[in-house]
Amino acid sequence: GDAARLRQVLLNLAGNAIKFTETGGVALIAEKGIWPEEITFQVRDTGIGIAEEAQARIFEEFEQADAGSTRRFGGTGLGLAISRRIVERMAGRIGVASREGQGSAFSFSVPLPRPAGATRPDLPAPDLTGNSILIVTPSAVAGPLLARRLGSWGARTCVVPDEKVAGALLPERKWDAVLVDRAIGAEAARALAQGATRRIVLVTPGERHELDSLRQAGFAGYLVKPVRAASLAARLSAAADPFERQPAECEAEAAPSLAAAKGLAILVAEDNDINALLARALLARLGHRPMLAPNGAAAVESWLAAASAGTPYDVVLMDVHMPQVDGLEATRRIRAIEADRGGARTPIIALTANAFGEDREACLAAGMDGFLVKPLDREKLAEALTSRGRSASLAA
């Protein structure tokens, strides 16, 4: 399978799930499919849901489930239609199950044969047979997923939504572990820090500053959401150091920095909020200075203002499909201004969810210098910025 296209489909589905979910949560699940060497991916949310009569056409281009929700949340655009095309080209299938007001589950299955000589990684599988674990979380998504994972390791689990129910259950039996989601509130979490052999708090990356006070309250360890199986297994191990760094955190910091140009001023023209934030985060992590523009017209204005002020952008990352003025037209306008004024040519790299040949040809014809497929891959992005659009290797 094509890893870049697989990431693209997952980002499209996850992006829509986040967009249409105001409360609750979003989960990504990967498991074996019904056929040999097939993997099934599911993106589940607790959002607004889709009417039954709209589900049959939701994967058609520019179809929306409901005009009102489109005005309120923004539409799905070409994302679902492109996702279907990609999945079908990978000999897979895609579908949706949904109820209005309760949420949706988009799933797709694709054949992913194991490469010759590949070995199956050793997955964490602690023996929790006979263990009783209480899970306290308001999330209708995270709770069942944690229970499912722990159940596969032999544990008996109980999922409750708040500290009141948990407080009533704690004295009823001996709990080997209690997992408390910080989302129930800091004081409520601290109130549950007693009454189990191992008490573990679940926090977001932005809540790490509370770890000292949570440890003083009686918690034996923490897990950063979304919870990884390896981290969960380590935290439930009797030999684990309660507040040691999680393996995934250490690996992220130890990853070698990519060799790339540093400190570039980069204009990112992208109308999708999630894609824009992802691009900004990747660029900042690579040491650059990103500036966002929500459409092609705003991108041209920002580019012109920077050039006129004598502080031109080093690179422009231009989404191809945007409202008002698309990326192709914005590029033509920039090239026309450059031709009229003379001077240096700004490298413009296309960003598109369409990995097919016709899009590449249109980008080059409009005056773009390179091509990157969304979702952005960090290594390919770094390579593209290093070459500044002067290498064919930019085409992801």
* CATH number of the domain that residue 61 is part of: 3.30.565.10
336 and 244, same structural domain? Answer: no
Burial class (CB in 10 A: 0-12, 13-18, 19+), 109: buried
Say if 163 falls within a structural domain: yes
Structure tokens at 229: 């199986």
326 and 210, same structural domain? Answer: no
Supply the pLDDT for residue 238: 57
Say if 125 falls within a structural domain: no
Domains held by the chain: number: 3
52 and 7, same structural domain? Answer: yes
152 and 72, same structural domain? Answer: no
The radius of gyration computed from the CA coordinates of the chain, to the nearest angstrom, equals 24
Q: Length of the chain, please?
A: 396
CATH assignment of the domain containing 139: 3.40.50.2300
Boundary (domain end) residue, out of 201, 226, 253: 253
Residue 378 CA to residue 383 CA, distance in Å, equals 9
Say if 126 falls within a structural domain: no
Supply the pLDDT for residue 345: 92
Q: Note the pTM of the prediction, 2 decimals.
A: 0.56
216 and 271, same structural domain? Answer: no
Boundary (domain end) residue, out of 44, 78, 111: 111
344 and 375, same structural domain? Answer: yes
Supply the pLDDT for residue 72: 43
Say if 259 falls within a structural domain: no
Say if 118 falls within a structural domain: no
64 and 174, same structural domain? Answer: no
Q: What range does the domain containing 140 cover?
A: 132-253
Say if 119 falls within a structural domain: no
Distances (CA, A) of 131 to 50, 53, 158, 218, 223: 39, 45, 11, 20, 19
Supply the pLDDT for residue 247: 47
- Cα 41 to chain centroid distance, Å, stands at 14
Say if 116 falls within a structural domain: no
Residues 264 and 288 sit within 8 Å (Cβ to Cβ): yes
Say if 260 falls within a structural domain: no
107 and 56, same structural domain? Answer: yes
- Cα 210 to chain centroid distance, Å, stands at 25
282 and 310, same structural domain? Answer: yes
Residues 250 and 238 sit within 8 Å (Cβ to Cβ): no
334 and 239, same structural domain? Answer: no
pLDDT along the chain (396 residues), means of 10: 80 87 85 87 91 85 52 54 91 92 92 77 79 91 90 92 89 88 89 75 80 84 86 75 48 38 86 84 88 92 89 93 91 94 90 71 90 83 77 39
Q: How many CB atoms lie within 10 A of CB 133?
A: 24
278 and 214, same structural domain? Answer: no
Boundary (domain end) residue, out of 253, 284, 314: 253
100 and 12, same structural domain? Answer: yes
Residues 180 and 189 sit within 8 Å (Cβ to Cβ): yes
